[in-house]
Each structure stands twice: as structure tokens, then as C-alpha cells.
């Protein structure tokens, strides 16, 4: 009997008048098949004289030829060493200690080198080194094919290459002429914190006379430096040790981001992990949602102008003994007084008066967190000097301008004024690694080597020196700025020889060779109580700050974790790194609050393929206007908007990288906050490439488990039945713990090594350094914005970011538990829909997710060709040459961590990133296969690293030490959130963490028995 049932594929078919349904009935494929690409157009086919017999003959021949070729693999020639260098053992990596000091990022690092090629950056932990995402990715910038390759002279109409000898002759002559004319020679450099730079410029001044050195930071901290100088007598920044903090109050300072050079996350994390029932309390006042705000216990949304009144109120209560005008300030003061000397105030307000008040508060409480003796040298710029230099250039007082480690034509807010002034300078020279905007505007563009090709010495902190040493011969015809100075000073020394000869004067207690091997050395600092050396009018500063009035919409400029100030904008790893807050890639955008978005008519929506689209807006500040896309950002303070610097680069960039808009035009007076901004909706819609579109947990408390510090400290509670519950299942009509039930027979895992990875949600700040480290170590391809938008990103490791729907996640769990039935006020139909929307000021949680390496892995049971299987050491293996790309494993993975190669990303002009040219391929790790089209891939728990560690210990005839086992992510993690090791070694740290009361497994009720363990997040929310 025939069935009268009607089957439909989507709800759209229920609409009888749908044009989409009619179109699909006539066309099998949604998108038109591009047949013209392989058949040609209709006209060419009609005009062809080829007969059917010839056509079939050609097809038969080409098919046979293709089959014959397919039987043979590509021939790749390997050239052996004729005479092998003593320091190189093929297949074995060498490590060199060096430092990065590019003017924005400063870190002590180890460089992994294979057969003469630097391929990986790691933190030099023996020198207290820590790395962020940009430092990890900086190795790829070494192999940038668009670097400035040789000296160039820029004429009026044409540019031509020039030899270094001609450069020296011409520039020395012109410098001599400028010196004789009485005009000044000016150096404009970024902060490099190098004593040798200062020394060489002083020697240059002795030779040429009227010389000035202006230090310019693209993202300025000049206000904080000015305040320190006014109070303590020298231009510097204080350093902070957040591990000593019991209470942290931040007013607009994203100290887990790039505030004052960064590198504060390690100390901060030490105080955030519950230790003997104690952890620090963090209060954040801010307008943009930042990493610091996302990790805070209490986050208060305030406009940039209101931050000044908050700081003034804190000063009035703590220093003047007044009463708080703001309830949130009263709470902060109570916490500060409870912590005493273990409290600290930090502020990111770019105003000297505000910075003075912060220093005064810390001085009043005697903060042990603040160190005004061991000063920080990672920011040394002087805004007043930069402004004076441009004025003097315009008036013709500057005869020569020598620029190093800076791109002012891109980063200056008054770039057009600088370009005009540059035309009035007799001699302009730019030392630059990249063919950037400034290199194209000066008379002489001189290429400098990458820091991995360079020598140097850096004093990041007072008394703490780091060596920069080359790890590869220069790839291009480059010369260091310091070598040029020596040459133009009339010296025959090389910069290396100069460093070696001047080393004794630094006061090191070890030899030059030993210092070079270690990568750093310190000299003793005489500990003394640094007092206020100058009379500072704090009362005037207080009156100025407290009198600030709010004025309409305000703009907060910021730097992203990925691109920073923009000097690495041509680095595809960083472009494709998801922003830790918005999860967007390949873009900058205006962040607006939900309330302001409704007022302005701004919308975000998801389209059919899951991608996020949004409105365009025009942002206006004075005469400057930019049209940018807008993202509605939970946690954005109403009345404020945010916009990232570092985008919109054009010169020396691949076409794919020329994205975003240059927001430095809004950076008026080097101030990151601007008032009097107008935002207007304009036509068009923008396509974002976001890696996460579902923003809330919707009460799924078993994914990210949380508790409060007081609950955690209540030892009368059984964690398994209260704050860290173990899921239960029914077995023979009895409820038993899910972890005790098995569908498979267990086997003995106590023999040999068994690897686990512990991730502490209290210590993870969401910075993304681990994502780039994984990318680097495992040859993960870059796929570009269009593919990311289709959810085809290839990251083996992602960091999920979740917002709460209620004020906190506990409220979400309560709301879910109170749901009853389908309809009604507490019905699930409307309730779950509401819970998809984040709160206006939500709690935030970060969770790194990679392959969980399940002992009962669902992927292994469904693979028809056994391409994925389990090893005895706890790792889930992938045999790439067995994989046929069914993707059954990805469908069966509850954690959604597997990635499919939709294309060949290497040697493919459609993906013109680093894997498409010989220079870029030099960064590839030879220990890891480059995967091909149609193959599934995912986290391998860095099996190449664990095996290398085992083999090294075996060769040396000893057991492996606990700290030797590392993965790329655990090694890159500055906060210690990720701990990797062997749980069969009962004394190992990871074995202890696995048995900790905070330990739990993700989706434990599924029964996959992962080898990745998470630690319950503890929040210190009680006041």
C-alpha cells in the first residue's frame, strides 16, 4: 500500500510560497558549479574543431598518464653535508638562549634550532622568561618573504637598491654636512632598553655634535613614566610582583594584557590558585571587557572618564581619610585595608595626575607588590619629546633624522604632519626589518636583521641583563643599527666585538661566554628605601582628576593579544589567532554595549552557514572618520566603545593581510581614551570570522565547574557530593558513579609511562600563547578568513570563552534547575532561549580544549580503517597515511576537537601563507608530518616531544625527570595552568593534581575516561 506521508528536509518547505524551495527543486546544488573553470565557456566549446573520437582519445591518454603518475611519489632531493658541522647532529635540536626586545614585547627565550633553522620559541624559564602569543609567533616573522632585503635609496619617482659601501660614503658625507650647518641630528627609536644603544649614540654625539635621542613608543606609557619621574626623580616604571598581592584593584589597567609591557601573568596566577585556603581578591574597574576584567572576582563597568573619579575617590578615602562617594569604591577600600601592605592599586589612565594618585595610594599603604627600586625599562618613550621633534622638523631645525625600530608614519596620530615635516629634513634614514610605511617615505631605507639574526644586550629591569645572540646566519643583505653606528662613528669594530669589549663594564659576576650561554645575568642592586625625592602637589592632581565630567560617547583604544601594536601584522599565525574575548579573527571592529547598540541600530546576526554578520558604523572624532564593523560586546560599559590598534597596515604586506582599519588616527595626544566621539550606522553588512558563536553555558555546570572560596574551605563538605560532584548512572537499578562503569575491559596501564595533562581553570587567563605554541610545534596550517568563517579553522587547541546569562554562573545553574515544564514563565522553551543571551556584565570563564586522549575514545571505535588508535602511554594516535577522511571520528567526538583538511594548505596558491613558499617552509618542524587533503588531524599530545625526552634519558642511562616531560602548550604556559607529566610516577606533579579534590574530567558522564584533567575554578567573590 502506498504511503501518503510527506517528507520534508527543512522548515522552509512548509512555506508554500518560498522562492528558496522553488530554486532548490530546479537546482541540485545550492551554489552554481564552476564548470567554466575546467570546460571553458560555451563559445569556445562551440568553436572547437575537436571530434568526439579525438576527445575520447585524449581523455583515455590523460587518464592513463594520471594513473601512471599516481603510482609514483614526488621526488624530493636531500643534500647531505659534505663536512658536517661539529655543533649539528641531524635530527637533534639545538637550543640557544636569547631575548626579544622589539620595542613592544620583551622576553627571555630559548630558540629551538634544527639543522641551522630556528623553528620554535620557548620561554627561558631559568631566566624568568615568559612568552605571549606574539613572542611565540615571532619566529615566523624571520621567514617573512616581504622583508626589506637590501639597502634602498628612495628617489622622487623611483627607488633603487644601493650597496652598503655606498650607503656609508653618502650618509657619512651628509651627516658631516649637517653637523657643519649647525642643524641637529635626531635619532627617533623605539624602546630597546639597551645600554649599548645609549653608549653608541653618545659616542655618535661626540663625533657629530648637536645630536638628540628621542624615544617613541607606539602605544605610550609616558604619563606613568612622567609621574614616576616627578615622584622619584628618574624616568622609569615601577615593577610589580603580583604573587605578593592579597588584594588587587585595577582602574583601567589591563595588566594581563599589554599594560606597561606585560609579563605580569605569572605572578598574578600564583595568587589565584587556592593555597592553604587563601587566594587573592581582584577588583577591576574598566570600560572594555579585557583579559584582566574577565579574570577578576569583581568587575565594575565604568566609562573612561568615570575611571578618573573612581581613582580620585580611592585616593580621598585612603590618603586623605575621607568617605567614599561610590559604593563600589567603599567595597574596594575595605578589601585594601584588610590586605594591608599586600594590596596594590594599578591604573591604565594615560594622565600624569592619575598616575601620581595611584603611586601616592600605594605609598600610603606601603604596598609590597610595588617595587620602585628595581625599575622596569620596557617602556621609555617621551610624548613631549616626540611632539617637540616634529615641531623642530617643521621649522627646519633638524638636519638629519635617523629612525630605528619604529614606524611613525603608521603609528603616529598626526602622521600627515610628520610626513610633511619629514620633507623639510635634509637627510632621512630608516632602519627597518620590514618594507613598511616609514621605509617607503625616507631617503634611505636600510634593512636590519631579525632579532634571531642579531647581537645585543638588554636591561629589561634594573640590574637584570639579557643577551641577544644570532641563531641563524642573516638571510638577506642586512646590517644592525649598532653596526652602522660603529661604522659612522669611524670605528672598525663589529658590534659583537664591541659587546664583548664592553661586557666587563656591566659588572657581571660571570664570564661573557657563560652569560651568553645562560642568556642573562644580574648584578646586585643595593636595596634601599626609595622615598619621594620631589615635592609633588598631590592636592592639585586630586582636584584635577576629581573634576572630570562625563561627555557623551567615549572611545577606549586598546591592543589585541594577537597583533599588539601592529608590527607583526604580516604574521598569519597572529591574524588567525582568535581574540580571547570576542573569539573573532582577521579583523578589528568597534565593540559596543547591548544598550548602545539598540540606540544606534547596530545589529549582529548569524546567517545560514553559521557565520556571524554585523552592521557597519562610521566613527568620527574631530576631522578623523573611519568606517568599521561593530560587535555587540557583553561587559562593554554603556556610553563607551572600544577599537583595537595595530590593524590597517598596507606597506610590505601580503594582500590577505591588508585587513582592518588603522585606528592610530584616533590616538590623539597619545591618549587611549577619547571623548566627543560620534558613531553613526551606515549601510552594508560585515562578515566576521569567529571561532565560537555560542557564548553561554546555559547552566551546564558540568563543563566548567565552579565554586566559591568559602565553600572550598568548608572541610565539612564532601567535594564529590557538593562542589565537585561526580556524575552518576543507573546500574542494575542502583545509582553508581559514572567513572566506575565500563563497557570495555580495562587493561593494566601501570607499566611504562602514562601521560596526563592537568589544566587549572584558576590559573588560565585565556592569553592564547599555548595556541600559537601548538601551531608552531605541530605545523598547523593557516586557512584564512573565508575558511575560518566556515568553521574550518585548523587549530588543534582552542580556548573556549563563556559568559554567564545571569550575573554569575551560579545564577545560571539555579535558573536551569528551577525550570519546570515546556511552557510558562519557568518553561524550558523560553528559558533556554533567554539563557543563550549573555548578561550585560557577565562573569567570564576560559577553558582550553584539545583532544582529551580518552582511554575509551569514541573516535577509535568508529574509524573504518583503524587510522586512529590508542597507545599504551595514554595518547590517542593518528596514522595519517591510513586516514581516508570519512570524518566518522569527528562526528563521534563529544569534545569536537578534530580538524579535517578540506584542502592541501601547503603548496597551494589559494592559501598564500607561509606554507606556500620555500622561505616560509623553513619554519616547519621536520619531526611532524605536513598533512594532506582529506586527512583528519588533531592534538597528538606532542608525541614527538615525549619520545625525544624518553630517548634522551635512555641514551644517558637515567630515568626521566618529572619536569622534563612537556608539550608545546604546557611549556608555553606562563601561568602554570597546564601541567604535563607521567601519572605512573606517583611523585610527579601531574599525578598529585589528578588526585586533587578540585580535579574533574570533561563530560565525565559520557564514560570516555580522558587523560586531560581539569581543576575546578574557585572564585573569591565574598567581601
In the chain, % helix, strand, coil (3-state, to 5) comes to 35, 20, 45
Q: Which 3 state secondary structure label does DSSP give 728?
A: strand
Dump pLDDT digits (tens) for 779-827: 999 999 999 999 999 999 999 999 988 888 888 788 887 788 888 778 8
Structural contact between residues 448 and 95, judged by C-beta atoms closer than 8 angstroms: no
The pLDDT of residue 579 is 94
The pLDDT of residue 812 is 77
The CA-atom distances, in angstroms, between 628 and each of 40, 589, 596, 661 are: 39, 6, 16, 7
User: Which residues does residue 303 pair with via DSSP β-bridges, in sequence order?
Assistant: none
Structural contact between residues 314 and 361, judged by C-beta atoms closer than 8 angstroms: yes
The pLDDT of residue 65 is 57
Task: Report which of 984, 937, 933, 929 is spatially closest to residue 960, judged by C-alpha positions.
Answer: 984
What's the rounded Cα separation, in Å, for the pair 107 and 733? 59
Q: What is the 3-state secondary structure (H, E, C) of 471-514?
A: CCCCCCCCCCHHHHHHHHCCCCCCHHHHHHHHHHHHCCCCCHHH
Please give the helix or strand (H or E) that residue 238 lies within, else none.
strand 237-240
The pLDDT of residue 831 is 77
Concatenated DSSP letters for 217-231?
A: -SS--HHHHHHHHHH
What's the rounded Cα separation, in Å, for the pair 832 and 461? 52
- Read off the pLDDT band of 205 (50, 70, 90): very high
Mean pLDDT over 879-903 rounds to 92
Dump pLDDT digits (tens) for 4-49: 555 555 656 666 666 666 665 555 555 555 555 545 555 555 566 6
Other Cβ atoms within 10 Å of 214 Cβ, number = 21
What's the rounded Cα separation, in Å, for the pair 926 and 149? 26
Dump pLDDT digits (tens) for 919-974: 999 999 999 999 999 999 999 999 999 999 999 999 999 999 988 999 999 999 99
Structural contact between residues 636 and 697, judged by C-beta atoms closer than 8 angstroms: no
Structural contact between residues 844 and 301, judged by C-beta atoms closer than 8 angstroms: no
Dump pLDDT digits (tens) for 226-236: 999 999 888 99
Dump pLDDT digits (tens) for 402-452: 999 999 999 999 999 999 999 999 999 999 999 999 999 999 999 999 999
- Residue 1 pLDDT > 50, yes or no? no
Q: Over the Cα atoms of the chain, what is R_g?
A: 30
How large a percentage of the chain has pLDDT more than 70? 92
Dump pLDDT digits (tens) for 138-156: 999 999 999 999 999 987 6
**Which stretch of 56-65, 672-681, 1006-1015 has the lowest confidence by average pLDDT?**
56-65
**Which stretch of 291-305, 497-511, 516-530, 940-954 has the lowest confidence by average pLDDT?**
516-530
Instruction: Compute φ and ψ for 187, nearest 5 degrees.
Output: -105, 130
Dump pLDDT digits (tens) for 349-368: 999 999 999 999 999 999 99
The CA angle 302-305-306, to the nearest 5 degrees, is 45
E strands, 879-933, in order: 899-900
More confident residue, 905 or 698: 905
Give the number of residues written for the chain: 1023
- Residue 829 pLDDT > 90, yes or no? no
Task: Report which of 706, 588, 592 is spatially closest to residue 647, judged by C-alpha positions.
Answer: 588
The pLDDT of residue 16 is 64
- Residue 158 pLDDT > 60, yes or no? yes
User: Which residues does residue 730 pair with via DSSP β-bridges, in sequence order?
Assistant: 735
Mean pLDDT, all residues of the chain: 88
What's the rounded Cα separation, in Å, for the pair 588 and 661? 7
What's the rounded Cα separation, in Å, for the pair 978 and 758? 6
How large a percentage of the chain has pLDDT more than 90? 68
Dump pLDDT digits (tens) for 592-641: 999 999 999 999 998 888 889 999 999 999 889 999 999 999 999 999 99
Burial class (CB within 10 angstroms; exposed 0-12, middle 13-18, buried 19+) of 16: exposed
For 282, half-sphere exposure in the C-beta direction (CA atoms, 13 angstrom radius) is 29
Residues 6+ apart with CB under 8 A from 757: 853, 941, 967, 970, 978, 979, 980, 990, 1011, 1012, 1013
State how beta strands 281-286 and 298-301 pair.
parallel
The CA-atom distances, in angstroms, between 872 and each of 87, 753, 855, 856, 1021 are: 35, 8, 10, 12, 43
- Read off the pLDDT band of 380 (50, 70, 90): very high
DSSP letter assigned to residue 29? S
The pLDDT of residue 836 is 81
Q: How many helices (H) and strands (E) does the chain have?
A: 32, 43
Mean pLDDT over 862-882 rounds to 91
The pLDDT of residue 70 is 53
The CA-atom distances, in angstroms, between 788 and each of 578, 646, 784, 794 are: 10, 21, 6, 8
- Read off the pLDDT band of 573 (50, 70, 90): very high
- Identify the structural domains of the chain with CATH numbers, from first to last: 152-220+381-518 (3.40.50.740), 222-376 (3.40.228.10), 552-690 (2.40.40.20), 706-804+839-1019 (3.30.70.20)
Dihedral sign for Cα 198, 202, 203, 205, please.
Answer: positive
Mean pLDDT over 313-340 rounds to 91
More confident residue, 72 or 170: 170
Residue 357's Cα: distance from chain center in Å?
31
Residues 6+ apart with CB under 8 A from 140: 571, 572, 573, 776, 914, 920, 923
Question: Which pTM was predicted?
Answer: 0.89
User: Which residues does residue 556 pair with via DSSP β-bridges, in sequence order?
Assistant: 642, 673
User: Which residues does residue 285 pair with via DSSP β-bridges, in sequence order?
Assistant: 251, 300
- Residue 534 pLDDT > 90, yes or no? no
Residues 6+ apart with CB under 8 A from 198: 213
- Residue 75 pLDDT > 90, yes or no? no
Amino acid at each position: 500500500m502506498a504511503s501518503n506521508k510527506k517528507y520534508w528536509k527543512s522548515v522552509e518547505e512548509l512555506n508554500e510560497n518560498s522562492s528558496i524551495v522553488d530554486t532548490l527543486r530546479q537546482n541540485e546544488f545550492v551554489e552554481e558549479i564552476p564548470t567554466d573553470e575546467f570546460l571553458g565557456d560555451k563559445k569556445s566549446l562551440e568553436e572547437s574543431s575537436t571530434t568526439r573520437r579525438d576527445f575520447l582519445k585524449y581523455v583515455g591518454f590523460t587518464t592513463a598518464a594520471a594513473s601512471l603518475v599516481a603510482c609514483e611519489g614526488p621526488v624530493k632531493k636531500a643534500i647531505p653535508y659534505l663536512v658536517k658541522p661539529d655543533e649539528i647532529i641531524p635530527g637533534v635540536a639545538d637550543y640557544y638562549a636569547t631575548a626579544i626586545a622589539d620595542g613592544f614585547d620583551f622576553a627571555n627565550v630559548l630558540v629551538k634550532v634544527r639543522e641551522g633553522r630556528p623553528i620554535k620559541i620557548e620561554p627561558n624559564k631559568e631566566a624568568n622568561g615568559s612568552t605571549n602569543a606574539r613572542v611565540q609567533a615571532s619566529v615566523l616573522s624571520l621567514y617573512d618573504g616581504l622583508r626589506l632585503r637590501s639597502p634602498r635609496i628612495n628617489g622622487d619617482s623611483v627607488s633603487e637598491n644601493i650597496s652598503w659601501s655606498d650607503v656609508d660614503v653618502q650618509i657619512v658625507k651628509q651627516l658631516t654636512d649637517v653637523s657643519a650647518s649647525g642643524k641637529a641630528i635626531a635619532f627617533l627609536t623605539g624602546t630597546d632598553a639597551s645600554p649599548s644603544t645609549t653608549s653608541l649614540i653618545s659616542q655618535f654625539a661626540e663625533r657629530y655634535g648637536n645630536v638628540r635621542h628621542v624615544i617613541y613608543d607606539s602605544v605610550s606609557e609616558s604619563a606613568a613614566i612622567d609621574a614616576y619621574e616627578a615622584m622619584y626623580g628618574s624616568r622609569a616604571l615601577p615593577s610589580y610582583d603580583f604573587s605578593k598581592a592579597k588584594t588587587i584593584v585595577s582602574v583601567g589597567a589591563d595588566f594581563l594584557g599589554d599594560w606597561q609591557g606585560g609579563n605580569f601573568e605569572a605572578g598574578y596566577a600564583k595568587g589565584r590558585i587556592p593555597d592553604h585556603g587563601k587566594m587573592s581578591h581582584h577588583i577591576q574597574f574598566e570600560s572594555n571587557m579585557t583579559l584582566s576584567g574577565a579574570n577578576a572576582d569583581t568587575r565594575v563597568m565604568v566609562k573612561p572618564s568615570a575611571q578618573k573619579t573612581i581613582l580620585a575617590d580611592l585616593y580621598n578615602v585612603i590618603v586623605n581619610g575621607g568617605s567614599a562617594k561610590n559604593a563600589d569604591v567603599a567595597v574596594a577600600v575595605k578589601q585594601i585595608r584588610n590586605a594591608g601592605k599586600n594590596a596594590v592599586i594599578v591604573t591604565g589612565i594615560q594622565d600624569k595626575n592619575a598616575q601620581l594618585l595611584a603611586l601616592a595610594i600605594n605609598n600610603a599603604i606601603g604596598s609590597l607588590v610595588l617595587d620602585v627600586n628595581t625599575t622596569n625599562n620596557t617602556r621609555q618613550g617621551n610624548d613631549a619629546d616626540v611632539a617637540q621633534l616634529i615641531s623642530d622638523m617643521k621649522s627646519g631645525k633638524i638636519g638629519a633624522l635617523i629612525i630605528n625600530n619604529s614606524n611613525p608614519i603608521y603609528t603616529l596620530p598626526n602622521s600627515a604632519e610628520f610626513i610633511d615635516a619629514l620633507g623639510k629634513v635634509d637627510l632621512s634614514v630608516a632602519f627597518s626589518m620590514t618594507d613598511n610605511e616609514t621605509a617607503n617615505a625616507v631617503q634611505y631605507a636600510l634593512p636590519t636583521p631579525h632579532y634571531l639574526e642579531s647581537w645585543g644586550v638588554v636591561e629589561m629591569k634594573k640590574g637584570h641583563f639579557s643577551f641577544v645572540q644570532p641563531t641563524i646566519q642573516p638571510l638577506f643583505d642586512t646590517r644592525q643599527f649598532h653596526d652602522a653606528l660603529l661604522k659612522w662613528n669611524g670605528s672598525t669594530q663589529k658590534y659583537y666585538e664591541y659587546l664583548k669589549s664592553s661586557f666587563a663594564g656591566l659588572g657581571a659576576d660571570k664570564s661573557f661566554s657563560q652569560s651568553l650561554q645562560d642568556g642573562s645575568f644580574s648584578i646586585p642592586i643595593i636595596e634601599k628605601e626609595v622615598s619621594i625625592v620631589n615635592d609633588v602637589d598631590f592636592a592639585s592632581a586630586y582636584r584635577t582628576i576629581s573634576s572630570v565630567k562625563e561627555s557623551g560617547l567615549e572611545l577606549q583604544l586598546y591592543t589585541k593579544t594577537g597583533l599588539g601594536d601592529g608590527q607583526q601584522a604580516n604574521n598569519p599565525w597572529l591574524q588567525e589567532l582568535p581574540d580571547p574575548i570576542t573569539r573573532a579573527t582577521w579583523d578589528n571592529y568597534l565593540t559596543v554595549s547591548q544598550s548602545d547598540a539598540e540606540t544606534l541600530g547596530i545589529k549582529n546576526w548569524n546567517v545560514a552557514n553559521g557565520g556571524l554578520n554585523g552592521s557597519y558604523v562610521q566613527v568620527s572624532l574631530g576631522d578623523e572618520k573611519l568606517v568599521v564593523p561593530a560587535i555587540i560586546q557583553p561587559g562593554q560599559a554603556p556610553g563607551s566603545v572600544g577599537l583595537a590598534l595595530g590593524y590597517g597596515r598596507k606597506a610590505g604586506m601580503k594582500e590577505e593581510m591588508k585587513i582592518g582599519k588603522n585606528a592610530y588616527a584616533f590616538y590623539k595626544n597619545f591618549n587611549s581614551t577619547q571623548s566627543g566621539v560620534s558613531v553613526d550606522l551606515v549601510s552594508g553588512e560585515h562578515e566576521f570570522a569567529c571561532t565560537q558563536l555560542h557564548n553561554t553555558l546555559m547552566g551546564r555546570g558540568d563543563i566548567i565547574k565552579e565554586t566559591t572560596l568559602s565553600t572550598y574551605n568548608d572541610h565539612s563538605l564532601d567535594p564529590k557530593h557538593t562542589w565537585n560532584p561526580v556524575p552518576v548512572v543507573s546500574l542494575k537499578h542502583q545509582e553508581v558513579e559514572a567513572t566506575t562503569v565500563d563497557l570495555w575491559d580495562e587493561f593494566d596501564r601501570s607499566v611504562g609511562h602514562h601521560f596526563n595533562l592537568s589544566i587549572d581553570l584558576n590559573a588560565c587567563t585565556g592569553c592564547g600563547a599555548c595556541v600559537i605554541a601548538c601551531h608552531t610545534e605541530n605545523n598547523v596550517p593557516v586557512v584564512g578568513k573565508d575558511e575560518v568563517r566556515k568553521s574550518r579553522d585548523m587549530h588543534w587547541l582552542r580556548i573556549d570563552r563563556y559568559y554567564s546569562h545571569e550575573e554569575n554562573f551560579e545564577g545560571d545553574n539555579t535558573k536551569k534547575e528551577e525550570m519546570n515544564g515546556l511552557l510558562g514563565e519557568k518553561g524550558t522553551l523560553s528559558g533556554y532561549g533567554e539563557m543563550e543571551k549573555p548578561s550585560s556584565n557577565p562573569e567570564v570563564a576560559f577553558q582550553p580544549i584539545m583532544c582529551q586522549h580518552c582511554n575509551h575514545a569514541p573516535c577509535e571505535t568508529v574509524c573504518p580503517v583503524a587510522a586512529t588508535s590508542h597507545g599504551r602511554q595514554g595518547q590517542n594516535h593518528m596514522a595519517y597515511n591510513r586516514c581516508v577522511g570519512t570524518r566518522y571520528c569527528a562526528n563521534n567526538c563529544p569534545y569536537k576537537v578534530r580538524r579535517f583538511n578540506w584542502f592541501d594548505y601547503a603548496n597551494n596558491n589559494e592559501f598564500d601563507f607561509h606554507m606556500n613558499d620555500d622561505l616560509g617552509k623553513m619554519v616547519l618542524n621536520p619531526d611532524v608530518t605536513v598533512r594532506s587533503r582529506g586527512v583528519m588531524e588533531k592534538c597528538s599530545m606532542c608525541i614527538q616531544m615525549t619520545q625525544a625526552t624518553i630517548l634522551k634519558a635512555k641514551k644517558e642511562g637515567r630515568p626521566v625527570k618529572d619536569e622534563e616531560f612537556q608539550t608545546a602548550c604546557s611549556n608555553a604556559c606562563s601561568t602554570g595552568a597546564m601541567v604535563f607529566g607521567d601519572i605512573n610516577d606517583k611523585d610527579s606533579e601531574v599525578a598529585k593534581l589528578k588526585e586533587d579534590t578540585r580535579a574533574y574530567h570533561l563530560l565525565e558522564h559520557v564514560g570516555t575516561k580522558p587523560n586531560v584533567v581539569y581543576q575546578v575554578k574557585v572564585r573569591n567573590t565574598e567581601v
